[in-house]
Structure 1
Amino acid sequence: MNPLESLREGLSPDTHRLTLTGCGLRELPAEVYDLADTLEVLDLSGNALDTLPEDLPRLHRLRILFCSNNRFTRLPEVLGRCPSLEMIGFKANQIREVPAAALPPRLRWLILTDNQLETLPEALGQRERLQKLALAGNRLQSLPDSLADCQQLELVRIAANQLTALPDGLLALPRLAWLACGGNPMSLDQEAAVRQHSELPEVAWSTLQCLRLLGEGASGQIHHVRGAAGHDAALKVFKGELTSDGLPGTELATWLQAGTHPALIAVQARLTGHPAQAQGLLMPLIGAEFQPLAGPPSLASCTRDIYPQALRLSPAAVRQLASDMASALSHLHARGLAHGDFYAHNILHDAAGHARLGDFGAATLLAPLPTAQALALQRLDVRALGCLLEELLERCTEAPAPALAALRDACLSPVPQQRPSAAEVAQALRAQ
């Protein structure tokens, strides 16, 4: 029985989540309102919807609404009248307009990736609870000045738009830690950045044997491969599609720019001759003793990673892991990069605290930006480092040393200019 048939047969009256994806819907089924007193999450993605009913606020407990891959050209104003709505996802529609009235008062998370937006309303800055804003793959030429009023904003994705400059007010926000802004006219041409690293060795697809899929992210798949000489490696094959972070071509350019560092997942060669003309990077195969430090944020945590409940780290492991990551960030900043997605879920670690940082999907090449803004983007990474330190210390088997706690607090300073540089953090950790 498909989800729509189940709904019409009658679901439990205490249903909290309803998924009606790929059902060919052109309108909201009336039976959804039978769940008005309990429904909190509604997923209508992959249908043929272009509007929502005016009585949608009858779903008075609805907190999360997904309508991705539909036919909307305008964000429905009725959303603004939904009393509990906090998260809105309208990825991959044809939305050209966001009326101010469409923004609910409790908005925390807005996803409008891969649409046709050219402007956003100033009213967006009046949503004081806004934490996460995903706008990659639109046609935005500027951002509302009012975003400077979003004091809770922590993560912003504005890559692959038509932005010629970043607003200083956005970069001065006290809690902003994760920003993806590559693939805009203000950024260095990604193809030129790739050409700068033409000396990197190449490996032909025909010489590789794919053994198994290691993992898959928004921008591509990672395979365990074996070369002609019998050497095992990891191969990331880019999908060539827009992701929530931006364009795979930008990730390729920034990963090449990152160079080598003991705490980075290094690039060994570029892929050639893929049957679908996909781009790819060959990397060392990381040992099985290295595991992801955490999982990505959940709908509930919004911007913070989800760690294994049983994870506990010794003080020595915390210091080692923090030192590795601060050193890696310092290296990237010196190479003219901001990581933009410095999260535990992008870090592999072993039981001793040794770590490897990867995933450059949200990274930004800093060279074309004004010096002050390039430094501002580096300070966002440092705040993200402070979040990591906070999370590590929460999982430490002993009370943190005062110096380490002070370093965490300095990285988390709400005044970006008062944060230490990544190099200063790395030096302080080495001295402990």
Structure 2
Amino acid sequence: MNTLAQLKAGQLAGITRLDLSCGLTEFPREIFELADSLEILNLTGNALSSLPDDLHRLAHLRVLFCSDNAFTELPECLGQCAKLSMIGFKANQISHVPAAALPPQLRWLILTDNRISQLPSELGERPLLQKLMLAGNQLTDLPQSLANCKNLELIRIASNRLTQLPDWLLTLPSLTWLAYAGNPVEMAVEVVADDVTPNIPWSQLSLGEVLGEGASGVIRKALWKPQALPVAVKLYKGTITSDGSPLHEMQACIAAGLHPNLIKVAGRVVGHPDDQAALVMDLIDPSYRNLAALPSLASCTRDVYAPNTRFSVEVALRMARGIASVAAHLHRHGITHGDLYGHNILWSAAGDCLLGDFGAASFHATADTLETRALQRIEVRAFGVLLGELLERIETEFNDDVLVDLQKRCCQADVLARPGFEEVEALLQSLPHH
């Protein structure tokens, strides 16, 4: 984090990234002295409600973060910034998004947790648009023009007011990760209640160290005292995340039921002193690790793999089979995961893997309708992307026409022409086990 004092003293000349969070109520004009070099400007966590009209003087500006501020509209000056491609205004009080605020190079737009009820149709005239984060607003529909966004891969529209999913949304050729939970259209779905999940009193748990923390909550090691059993406890936050509602995530976790490639839910916690929602889950063996890291600013929608990540054919195939199997299982239960990605997969050296993080999961009808089929085939594209990433990292010279063809079929532009997970799983099982 940089300081205002450093900026004013001219000590930051030549920097490409500036992070300022110090209660700013207005944009410091000294930032313009960095115009020759500044590419990333992060003003998250201030009290700003406007930006200067001449913001375009920051000619190299590519990324702008202004989350957790006091904006009530997306500033029009953004539209004049020639290189600006990534905009983040999460958790403001924005109710108005003017067409003029959308820069020509727009690739990644984050407007999560605002008060937006309408978006301009000009949003569909941004051909590079790839990632659109709109969870936690008041949208009743989406601009029809978004049907033109052939590169749009990730859409988060959870916790809005949509009573239906538009037809064009289900035919977008590149759409891969979709989260729409907590809208009337999704809440109308009959979720088969899983009454076998036991209640576990808070008093029976003794909490230990933090194992991990995500947008939706904290995971801690714990001892389940009556069984003297080490477990993991996920304590959910109540706030809106970029994917949607953490409590909805918990519901999806329970509804997913049992599968060898899912982390087993032992029970839901009752009697927490602050009424916090929590689940008790199996403790995962420490030999498991994340398959990939989250996408970067540069990769946008693609996971980042460690440069030395390599698999044998056997391990890659075993992971592909496991993920196809668990995805088929979820779809049979009327659940799309919404975030089928390497960074949400834990794997072991033997190729055993577990799919986690149900933050973007949504419920759909289990009947075989065109809508259900399209929603499931959107997720098949995510599997196709993942399969491609696995195949690229096989350590030996590898050329298997069947797998390469499967990967292409999963990612083809015609959504309904993609295979379903039942077919994908059957094909992978039929291949010789190395």
TM-score range, shorter chain: over 0.9
- Write the letter of the residue equivalent to 2:32: Y
Q: Residue 232 of structure 1 aligns with which residue?
A: 230
Stretches (4+) displaced over 6 A: none
Q: Are residues 1:215 and 2:212 paired?
A: yes
Task: Note the C-alpha offset of 1:371.
Answer: 2.4
From 194, 197, 203, the counterpart of 1:197: 194
Task: Note the C-alpha offset of 1:368.
Answer: 8.6
Q: Residue 31 of structure 1 aligns with which residue?
A: 30
- Aligned 8 A contact 1:187 1:368 in 2: no
- Aligned 8 A contact 1:188 1:368 in 2: no
Q: Aligned residues, how many?
A: 429
Instruction: Sort the Cα spacing of 1:368 and 1:261 in 2 relative to 1 into closer, same or farther, 3 A.
Output: closer
- Aligned 8 A contact 2:79 2:101 in 1: yes
Which deviates the most, 130-139 or 242-251? 242-251
Q: Residue 203 of structure 2 aligns with which residue?
A: 206
Q: Are residues 1:101 and 2:107 paired?
A: no
Alignment of 1:203-282 (within 5 A): 203-228=200-225, 229-282=227-280
Q: Residue 429 of structure 1 aligns with which residue?
A: 428
Q: Distance in 1 between matches of 2:309 and 2:184?
A: 43
- Write the letter of the residue equivalent to 2:284: I
**Secondary structure at 1:101 match in 2:** helix
Q: Are residues 1:346 and 2:330 paired?
A: no
Identity over aligned residues, as a percent? 51
- Write the letter of the residue equivalent to 1:211: G
From 320, 323, 329, the counterpart of 1:322: 320
Q: Distance in 2 between matches of 1:11 and 1:175?
A: 44
Task: Note the C-alpha offset of 1:370.
Answer: 8.7
- Write the letter of the residue equivalent to 1:168: D
Q: Are residues 1:154 and 2:143 paired?
A: no
Q: Residue 10 of structure 2 aligns with which residue?
A: 10
Q: Are residues 1:301 and 2:337 paired?
A: no
Which deviates the most, 397-406 or 55-64? 397-406
Report the RMSD for the aligned CA atoms in angstroms. Answer: 1.5
Q: Distance in 2 between matches of 1:46 and 1:269?
A: 37
Q: Distance in 2 between matches of 1:325 and 1:141?
A: 34
- Write the letter of the residue equivalent to 1:173: L
**Secondary structure at 1:409 match in 2:** helix
Q: Distance in 2 between matches of 1:389 and 1:111?
A: 28
Taking structure 1 as the reference length, the TM-score comes to: 0.97
Q: Distance in 2 between matches of 1:47 and 1:222?
A: 29
Deviations 1:108-153 (A, max 9, x none): 0000000000000000000000000000000000000011100000
Instruction: Sort the Cα spacing of 1:180 and 1:107 in 2 relative to 1 into closer, same or farther, 3 A.
Output: same
Q: Residue 173 of structure 2 aligns with which residue?
A: 174
Q: Distance in 2 between matches of 1:12 and 1:136?
A: 35
- Aligned 8 A contact 1:187 1:369 in 2: no
- Aligned 8 A contact 1:70 1:93 in 2: yes
Q: Distance in 2 between matches of 1:181 and 1:376?
A: 14
Task: Note the C-alpha offset of 1:204.
Answer: 1.3
Q: Residue 405 of structure 1 aligns with which residue?
A: 404
Q: Are residues 1:88 and 2:87 paired?
A: yes
**Secondary structure at 2:340 match in 1:** coil
Q: Are residues 1:111 and 2:110 paired?
A: yes
**Secondary structure at 2:123 match in 1:** helix
Q: Distance in 1 between matches of 2:142 and 2:367?
A: 17
- Write the letter of the residue equivalent to 1:346: N
Task: Note the C-alpha offset of 1:369.
Answer: 9.1
Q: Residue 336 of structure 1 aligns with which residue?
A: 334
Taking structure 2 as the reference length, the TM-score comes to: 0.96
From 308, 311, 314, the counterpart of 1:310: 308
Q: Residue 418 of structure 2 aligns with which residue?
A: 419
Q: Distance in 2 between matches of 1:109 and 1:205?
A: 41
Task: Note the C-alpha offset of 1:199.
Answer: 3.3
- Where does structure 1 lack aligned partners over 5 or more consecutive residues? none
Q: Distance in 2 between matches of 1:94 and 1:409?
A: 42
Q: Residue 127 of structure 1 aligns with which residue?
A: 126
Task: Note the C-alpha offset of 1:200.
Answer: 1.4
- Aligned 8 A contact 1:186 1:369 in 2: no
Q: Are residues 1:359 and 2:360 paired?
A: no
- Write the letter of the residue equivalent to 1:97: H
Q: Distance in 2 between matches of 1:385 and 1:298?
A: 20
Task: Note the C-alpha offset of 1:189.
Answer: 6.0
